[in-house]
Structure 1
Amino acid sequence: MHRNFALAALALGFAAPSAANAASADRAPFGTLADGSPVEVVTLTNSHGMRARILSYGAILQGVDVPDRDGKIADVTLGYADMQGYLTAPNYFGATVGRYANRIKAGRFTLDGKGYTLALNNKTNALHGGVKGFDKRPWRIVEVAGGATPHVTLAYTSADGEEGYPGELQVTATYSLNDANELTVDYRATTNKPTVVNITNHSFFNLGGEAAQRSIYDAVLTIPAETTTSVDATLIPTGSFRLVAGTPFDFRQPMVIGSRIRDARDPQIVFGQGYDENYVLARTLSATPRLAARVTDPVSGRTMEVLSNQPGVQLYTGNFLDGTAVGKSGHAYRQGDGIALEPQVFPDTPNQPALGSARLDPGQTYHNVIVYRFSVSPR
């Protein structure tokens, strides 16, 4: 456990682990879908009082409660207090997105000589799995367990042809919370015929607190990547790898997010209306999770590190939040109210072999493991 986070836990009364404040996993009703079927929430709590709430709808991360440097606990994710918000204006808050996260150009790709057509739900492109992707589907809760590392496993079967993708896909999402204040999301999938897969978590974080009513522009971001996959005006990769050196996209050293987010001299900023770009961490998967990004809120002291085995991480600064979504605290979410850091393979990879491969064949297992590690920094 990080020492500074431990001090914050002590200030909240979360002292050394004991029977009185043992880790737990609790299951409860959350709401219902339009057809009346129930949605449940599973709350994972570690022995220091950190909490994560996961919905059986969309395998959504509905909330993460962590203390600041003074011990004040707050929810640091954007989202809704009830099901109505997720059904009417989802905005991918906390969502598990797939079958293919990010964009596929013109909603088309070819696999083994056969063409596939997807819904165009992002202007001229397909985005995040389609009109009704994994984020808008009911998932089955297959296991809830307490113990030293409380966890929940959810499962979803994506039918052959669903949203235009080939192959029946068996998907699991396991959320676990340990006493090092690490929330891990483990995605796995298998298929019965060749397909393409890219699953990630689309949580928006504001380490100042979801209810703080201040943007993430004053937060400090680090991304250890030398290049991005540059995009065109429709946010599809051009196929080239662009050096971040000398651009507003250089976060190799800690940098205030808002210091260059409106630098319109860079066309990539204009295309995304802020940051909306894939960073190249590597060209291949890693055997173990590696650092993808680090964010620190200087006011609260909360720090989050994101680690994953994936080759890329999409940085998105909530550029299209327009005030129409009213969140858990009752205030309208606007541009810059949250930051999404989405570990994944690169956008439009099914159409651009030079960017890697998103192919999954029978007998193989797709695996994306994401770790959100929380701590606090001193004043």
Structure 2
Amino acid sequence: MQVKTEAIKVSDQQWQEFTLSNDLGMEVSILNYGGIITKILAPDRHKSFENVVVSYKNYEDYIANPNFFGALIGRVAGRIQDASFELDGHTYTLLANDNDNHLHGGAKGFHNAIWDAEAFEGTDEVGVKLTHQSPDGEGGYPGNITMEVTYTLNNKNQLSISYQGTTDKKTALTATNHSYFNLSGDLKDTMLKHNVTIDSSKFVELDEELIPTGEQLDVDGTVYDFRNGRTIEDGTTSDFKQNLVAGNGYDHYFLFDNTKEEKIVVKESDSGRKLTVTTDQPGFVMYTSNMMAETLSLREGKSRKYLGLCLETQASPASLHHEGFPSVVLEKGERYTAKTTFEFGLV
């Protein structure tokens, strides 16, 4: 097992890319800029290693990165209604970067920070630890935040992302990674035929601006019922209002039932690849790249709709405006912790 480090010069910035490799041939490449995963090489049933995440052809495109490809997201992942929230009677106003709402930490979030990075190697795992200081008031959020995010690859083809954060003032914090998975390998196909199983019987209703209404809907009898597995294509061809609101697909928060250790399982029959997600988070946003433009230069060609599947494990920003949702509030002196593991196997 080893970690290779490469210096990347982009515009007037100096980045580092860390490539983690295990004894089985799997590789994961991560930038210290935004903690961005730029490549995951995973085997198919014929032991052919191909990239299974959406990546830009040119590193420069990660600076704008409107789709947040592969990036760490924070301070709060997801949309915050009206770009504001209240804590203890004080209203905090954030940058509105998604109509009148705040999305994925705003213009200056975790996704475009240059993180301090330290690689490590062991006999059974390798990784890189990223640390970042976000000052009080950055993006409109209260509190000085100290974040530590560790990417670890082991010899079971498991990529784990562990998050830790502390604050000196009561604030809002829930982080995630925004990789777009495509198990066909090297973007040979869209992920419409990917079969997904989710341990969830409830999802969050969205309004026309993709803001949670405060209602949690039962998946029964809808194309949001993934408990026994279904293809992503079901939601893209559905005339169900929630699919139409999301741009003919999914962009919704699912609350885990916690009846299974495996919270999400994704299978792709042609390659034989399987992605299993375990997490200590209460739910996740599934986004099916419904809004992806067709003009982006990617590692394997041009972009298009439905090219990647985001599995954004996190608490819910809806908790800042509605009761009954997993909280994103972090108290002074409290430690934020989260962990998600992506295991790459075969069907």
Q: Once the 2 structures are TM-superposed, how far is the Cα of residue 146 of structure 1 from its aligned partner?
A: 4.1
The count of corresponding residues between Structure 1 and Structure 2 is 346
Mapped contact 1:290–1:309 kept (Cα < 8 A): no
TM-score (norm 1): 0.88
| Uncovered stretches (5+) of structure 1, i.e. residues with no partner | 1-22
Structure 2 residue identity aligned to 1:221: V
Is 1:257 the equivalent of 2:232?
yes
The aligned residue for residue 281 of structure 2 is 310
1:128 deviates by 0.4
Matched, 1:328 2:310: no
Q: Equivalent residue for 2:36? A: 60
- Picking from 331, 336, 340, the partner of 1:366 is 336
Q: In the TM superposition, what are the counterparts of 1:63-82 in structure 2 within 5 Å?
A: 63-82=39-58
| Aligned pair partner of 2:130 in 154, 159, 167 | 154
- Aligned equivalent of 1:42, options 18, 32, 36: 18
CA distance in 2, matches of 1:248, 1:58: 34
Q: Partners in 2 of 1:344 and 1:133 — Cα distance?
A: 16
Match of 2:325 in 1: 355
Question: How far apart, in 2, do the equivalents of 1:119 and 1:308 lie?
Answer: 30
Contact in 2 for aligned 1:129/1:163 (Cα 8 Å): yes
Structure 2 residue runs of 5 or longer lacking an equivalent are none
Cα distance in 1 for residues equivalent to 2:68 and 2:325? 25
Residue number in structure 2 paired with 1:279: 254
User: 2:235 and 2:89 mapped to 1: Cα distance?
Assistant: 44
Deviations 1:146-196 (A, max 9, x none): 432101101111110000000010001100011111000011110011101
Q: Deviation digits for residues 289-346 of structure 1, max 9, x if unmatched? A: 94221111110000001111111111100011011211112x1111100000110112
1:112 is aligned to: 88
Asked if the contact 1:236/1:347 (under 8 Å) is kept, the reply is: no
Letter in 2 for 1:27: T
**Contact 2:68/2:111 (CA < 8 Å) preserved in 1?**
yes
Q: Secondary structure at the match of 1:353?
A: coil
One-letter amino acid matched to 2:21: T
Structure 2: how far apart are the matches of 1:70 and 1:182? 19
- Residue 46 of structure 1 and its aligned partner are, at CA, apart by 0.8
User: Equivalent residues in 2 for 1:121-140 (5 A)?
Assistant: 121-140=97-116
SS at match of 2:98: coil
Selected match of 1:165 from 109, 120, 141:
141
Residue 319 of structure 2 aligns to which amino acid in structure 1?
Answer: T
SS in 2 for 1:348: helix
Aligned to 2:314: 344
Contact 2:134 2:145 in 1 (8 A): yes
1:240-287 CA-partner distances (Å, limit 9, x unpaired) = 2100010111111111211342212x110011011110001059xx9x
Higher fraction of strand: 2
Residue-by-residue CA offset, 1:49-97 (whole Å, 9 max, x unaligned): 1110110000111111011001111000011243211013341100100
Report SS of the residue matched to 2:320.
helix
SS in 2 for 1:334: coil
Cα distance in structure 2, aligned partners of 1:141 and 1:55: 9
Q: Report runs of 4+ in structure 1 exceeding 4 Å deviation.
A: none
Q: SS state of the match for residue 83, structure 1? A: coil
Question: CA-atom RMSD, angstroms?
Answer: 1.6
